[in-house]
Amino acid sequence: MTITDSRLTDSTEVASAQAPTGERVATRRRYLMCEPRYFAVEYAINPWMDPTQPVDRDLAVRQWRSLAETYRSLGHNVSEIEPVDGLPDMVFAANGATVAGGRVYGARFKYAERHDEGPAYLDWFKNAGYRDAHEATFVNEGEGDFLVVGDMVLAGTGFRTEPAAHAEAAEVLGLPVVTLDLIDPSYYHLDTALCVLDSQTVAYFPEAFSTQSQIRLEELFPDAVIADADDAAVLGLNAVSDGLHVVLPIEATALAEKLRARGYRPVPVALSELRKAGGGPKCCTLELRS
C-alpha cells in the first residue's frame, strides 16, 4: 500500500491525529530497526521462547524486510542499526530506548542475555548526534514498557521494567508517566498488551492488567479499542500506528475489523518467525520522536 503526500503529514506539524472533519490522518514517522541477521531462540526469558523449536532465520529476515518496506511504502523514514553477533534479540529495537522530544532514555535489560543491547543502542544514538542521551540507572526495556501517548507516557511494570525507572523516565523525557501493572506473564511488556493508535486513543487487552490498572485505563481512554483474548494471543496488540494505518500481525483478524470500524486502516504483516521469541511489529520498531 502506498500513501500519497496529500494524505501524509509530518508529525511535527500535526497537533491531533484526526482532521477537523473527523477523518483520520497519517503522520510521517521516523523509525529505528535492526535486521535479524543473528536472530535465534537460544534461551527462554519469556513464555513465547522455546529453544527446542527450530527457527528459520532466512524467513525471519525476509519477514523483517517486508515490515521495513511496509513502513517505507506508507511514507515513513526507516533507519537501521547494525546488528551485533551474539545478540539474537537485538532485532527487537523497541526495547533499545525510549525517545521523546529528541531526548533518549536508554535501556537497561533485566536478563544478562540481553544486557549488551542497551549500550549498543545508546552508542547508536550518540553517534547519530543525539546530545541528550541518558544511560539508565534502573532496569527498563525501552518502548517495550514505555509508550508515548500525546503528552504523557504509559509505563508498564510487573515483569521487566522496575517501578523506579518510571520516575527516572519522567525526569529524562520531561513527560508525566502513568504506571500500569502487568499481571499475565504472556504479556510481559506493555507493548504486547497495549497499542497506541493516536495521541488520544489506544487499543488494549484488559485481562493483561491488574484491576486497578484496568480502572485507570478506562478513565484515561473511555473510547479505547478492546482486543479479545484470541487476538492478544497472536500479539495482535504489538502493533504500530501512524494515526491512520495500523501495522499489525496478519493473524489478528477480529482486531483488524474493530480498527477498520473505527476509521483506521489495518495493514496486516507476517512475522511468524519473530513471534517465536515473543516479538511482533512494535517489538521491531523504535520510534524516533524529535
In a domain, 14, yes or no: no
| Structural domain includes residue 19 | no
Which residues participate in catalysis according to the annotation? 189, 283
How far apart CA 182 and CA 161 sit, in angstroms, is: 10
Q: Is residue 203 part of a domain?
A: yes
Please calculate the CA angle 224-227-233 and round it to the nearest 5 degrees. 150
Mean of all residue pLDDT scores within the chain = 93
| pLDDT tens digits, 226-238 | 999 999 999 999 9
In a domain, 125, yes or no: yes
Cα separation, 223 vs 219, in Å, equals: 10
Asked whether residue 3 is domain-assigned, the answer is: no
> What is the value of pTM for the model shown?
0.93
pLDDT tens-place string over residues 67-122: 999 999 999 999 999 999 999 999 999 999 999 999 999 999 999 999 999 999 99
CATH number at residue 57: 3.75.10.10
Sheet containing strand 245-249, strands side by side: 240-241, 245-249, 265-269
Domain count, the chain: 1
- 103: nearest Cα among 230, 290, 277: 290
Does 1 reside within a domain? no
Which residues span the domain enclosing 50? 24-287
Q: 12 lies in a domain? A: no
CA separation, residue 147 to residues 20, 166, 178, 197, 276 (Å)? 25, 11, 10, 11, 23
Which of the two residues, 12 and 72, has the higher pLDDT score? 72
* pLDDT at 3 > cutoff 90: no
Please check the confidence at residue 36 and state whether its pLDDT lies above 50. yes
Grid cell, residue 109, equals 535489560
Note the helical H segments in 174-242.
Answer: 211-220, 229-233
Task: Kindly state whether residue 8 falls inside one of the protein's structural domains.
Answer: no
